[in-house]
């Protein structure tokens, strides 16, 4: 298995632009998580899905952030409009039973 | 609510020395506990986990951790540090006793530096 796949690996955009991050979980995993990591705030859980259904989005910082999981093999995290404070590394992880498997992350820079 | 505290944001050891990274948790139900490692510019990788059974668990790369309920601790150790162990380490606890709701609560991380 290729593991959790995230794209793009790096994204540089200007303030106000829409950003879409993509994730392909490991096949057969029934949970999917989106995290954000910054030096100041550490690792934050943004939202997670179970069987494609959003379970807990309490970590989503603002209405500018939205996430979807249209099917078991694909999820997106969208930021619209983006702001410089959104600069971070965004991780997707999928889970089966007790173990979460993380993707390599997307490094987002908003200028 | 569950929480995790990692004591020491930075730990420095010499190559060949004992590695000890401390983790204490708070949980109102029997916890499931995890250690993850993050190498530079990579995602988190599971080192080891405790769910039930034996309280001393062994993981990859020679690491192990012991679940001590009375101390609410899950410290990570390795007898002899290697240069390749330099990374950031995260302790985490699962939110529900079954571990199957999926949500992990992470500590703030400990950066391990290994000196030659």
Segment B31-61, tens digit of pLDDT: 899 999 999 989 999 999 998 889 999 999 9
Residue in A42, A50, A100 nearest the CB of B104: A100
Pairwise CB contact (< 8 Å): A100 & B94: no
| Residue B68: pLDDT over 80 | yes
B residues 39-78 closer than 8 Å to A (CB): 41-46, 49, 51
- Tell whether the model's pLDDT for residue B24 goes beyond 70: yes
Task: Write out chain A residues lying below 8 Å of B106, CB-based.
Answer: 42-43
B32 contacts chain A (CB < 8 A): yes
Contacts 24+ apart (CB under 8 A), B46-52: B46/A99, B46/A100, B46/A101, B47/B76, B47/B89, B48/B76, B49/A98, B49/A99, B50/B74, B51/A98, B51/B99
Binary contact (A98, B99; C-beta < 8 A):
yes
Of the candidates B30, B46, B23, which has an alpha carbon nearest to the alpha carbon of residue B109?
A: B23
pLDDT band at residue B97 under the 50/70/90 scheme = low
Minimum distance, in Å, between the CA of residue B33 and any CA atom of chain A = 10
For residue B2, name the pLDDT band (cuts at 50, 70, 90): confident
pLDDT over threshold 80, residue B96: no
Write down the pLDDT at residue B100: 56
Q: How far apart are CA A21 and CA A79, in angstroms?
A: 9
- Rounded to the nearest 5 degrees, what angle is found at the Cα of A53, between the Cα atoms of A50 and A59? 80
The pLDDT value given to residue A12:
98
> What is the overall mean pLDDT for chain B?
91
Instruction: Examine the pLDDT at A85 and tell me if it is beyond 60.
Output: yes
Residues 45-104 of A with CB under 8 A from B: 45, 48, 50, 55-56, 91, 93, 95, 97-104
Confidence of residue B101 (pLDDT cuts 50, 70, 90): low
Is the pLDDT reported for residue A3 higher than 90? yes
pLDDT tens figures, A61-79: 889 999 999 999 999 999 9
Q: How many CB pairs under 8 A join A and B?
A: 48
CB-side exposure of B78: number of CA atoms within 13 Å?
Answer: 25
Taking an 8 Å cut-off on Cβ atoms, the answer to whether B46 and A100 are in contact is yes
Distance from the Cα of A80 to chain B's closest Cα (Å) equals 25
pLDDT at A32 over 80: yes
Residue of B nearest to A95 (CA): B102
Residues 6+ apart with CB under 8 A from A60: A46, A47, A66, A67
The answer to whether B81 and B89 are in contact (CB under 8 A) is no
B109 to A98: CB separation less than 8 angstroms, yes or no: no
Record: contact A100-B109, CB cut-off 8 A: no
pLDDT band at residue B89 under the 50/70/90 scheme: very high
Which burial class, exposed, middle or buried, applies to B17 when counting CB atoms under 10 A from its CB (0-12, 13-18, 19+)? middle
pLDDT band at A97, cuts 50/70/90?
Answer: confident
Please give the structure tokens belonging to residue A23.
Answer: 């994730």
Min Cα separation A83/chain B (Å) = 23
């Amino acid at each position: 298995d290729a593991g959790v796949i995230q794209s793009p690996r790096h994204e540089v955009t200007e303030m106000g632009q829409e950003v879409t991050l993509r994730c392909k979980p490991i096949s057969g995993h029934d949970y999917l998580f989106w995290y954000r990591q910054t030096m100041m705030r550490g690792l934050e859980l943004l939202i997670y899905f179970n069987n494609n259904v959003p379970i807990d989005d309490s970590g989503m910082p603002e209405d500018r952030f939205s996430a979807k999981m249209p099917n078991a093999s694909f999820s997106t995290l969208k930021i619209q409009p983006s702001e410089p404070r959104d600069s971070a590394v965004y991780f997707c992880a999928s889970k089966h039973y007790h173990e979460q498997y993380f993707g390599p992350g997307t490094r987002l820079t908003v200028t | 609510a569950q929480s995790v505290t990692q004591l020491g944001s930075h730990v420095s050891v010499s190559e060949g020395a004992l590695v000890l990274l401390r983790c204490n948790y708070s949980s109102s139900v029997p916890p499931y506990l995890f250690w993850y490692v993050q190498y530079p510019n990579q995602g988190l990788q599971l080192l080891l986990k405790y769910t039930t059974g034996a309280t001393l668990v062994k993981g990859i790369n020679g690491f192990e951790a012991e679940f001590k309920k009375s101390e609410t601790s899950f410290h990570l150790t390795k007898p002899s540090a290697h240069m390749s162990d330099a990374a950031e380490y995260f302790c985490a606890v699962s939110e529900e006793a079954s571990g199957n709701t999926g949500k992990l609560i992470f500590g703030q991380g400990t950066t391990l530096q290994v000196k030659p």
